[in-house]
Chains A and B, each alone.
Chain A
Amino acid sequence: MIEQSVQRRRGEAALDEARLRQQAIGVKLRQMFDEVVSEPVPDEFIEILRRADRRSGDG
């Protein structure tokens, strides 16, 4: 009986540990992505879009 509950607790601890590791990986993944999201957008992007918008306005 005691043996079983010890094992169960060990199992739960391992599960918590695995969850913690997955959460940590998730945090880093988002950080990696957000790093690029927060970079300033090169002017080129807006410039290209503005030119295209002007073209469609003329046509």
Chain B
Amino acid sequence: MPQRSPRAVPDPANDEAFKRELIGLIPHLRAFARTLAGDPASADDLAQDAMMKAWDARASFEMGTNMKAWTFMILRNQFYSEKRRAWRQTQLDQEAAERTLIAVDDPEAPVALDELRLGLGMLPAEQREALILVGAGGFAYEEAAAICGCAVGTVKSRVSRARKALQAILEDGAYQRDGGSAGDAMSAILADAERLSTGE
């Protein structure tokens, strides 16, 4: 009797293990959603939708494989399919969408972080995504490639281009800052990073 799914029959013990692991991933899903969606509230909506999609699809997940990468892939697909739908509905122009991708509305945010967010916002979406997955999410190139549905070499070159572009943006102060002077973001970041690494 061939079985296509290992869990065609509901398995409470497996569901419980799945749920526990999924709950542990919620903070990471929220963080990833925050880098995609325009504001924290819609980011949480996105993270919740992704969490429920993952729960509904739990029968197709193989326990023991990388659930973090699997849920990130679900979240990313969810984001882009919603975005496509939104485009159809409102004819939103791409430029406006890009501008709202990274929310900068926290006045308490440290200056260097703020400028890093602005700099990230200026990168092409696919470069920003690759850099965030590898540089902040802790994914290997292979995992990031699986999440984005592209070749490993593509991820590598996107990350490398993103790094160079971001550094140039931060050094030139090319990001837009309302009224304020562009300042020396790169030296603020260097000082901050040094403080973080020695303070720990």
Contact = CB atoms under 8 A, between A and B. Distances in A.
B15 A25 contact: no
Contact of A29 (B27, B44, B52, B132): B132
A41 B27 contact: yes
Contacts of B196: 27, 31
A33 B131 contact: no
Given A42-B44, A49-B22, A33 B132 contact: yes
Q: What bracket does the count of chain B residues touching chain A fall in?
A: 35 or more
Nearest to A18: B167
A30 interface: yes
Contact of B31 (A23, A37, A48): A37
Contact of A38 (B27, B113, B186): B27
Contacts of A41: 26-27, 30
B162 to A, nearest CB: 10
Interface in A2-59: 18, 20-39, 41-42, 44-46, 48-49, 52-53, 56-57
A25 B113 contact: no
A52 B31 contact: no
6 A-B pairs closest in CB distance = A33-B136, A24-B193, A36-B31, A27-B193, A37-B27, A29-B136
Interface of A: 18, 20-39, 41-42, 44-46, 48-49, 52-53, 56-57
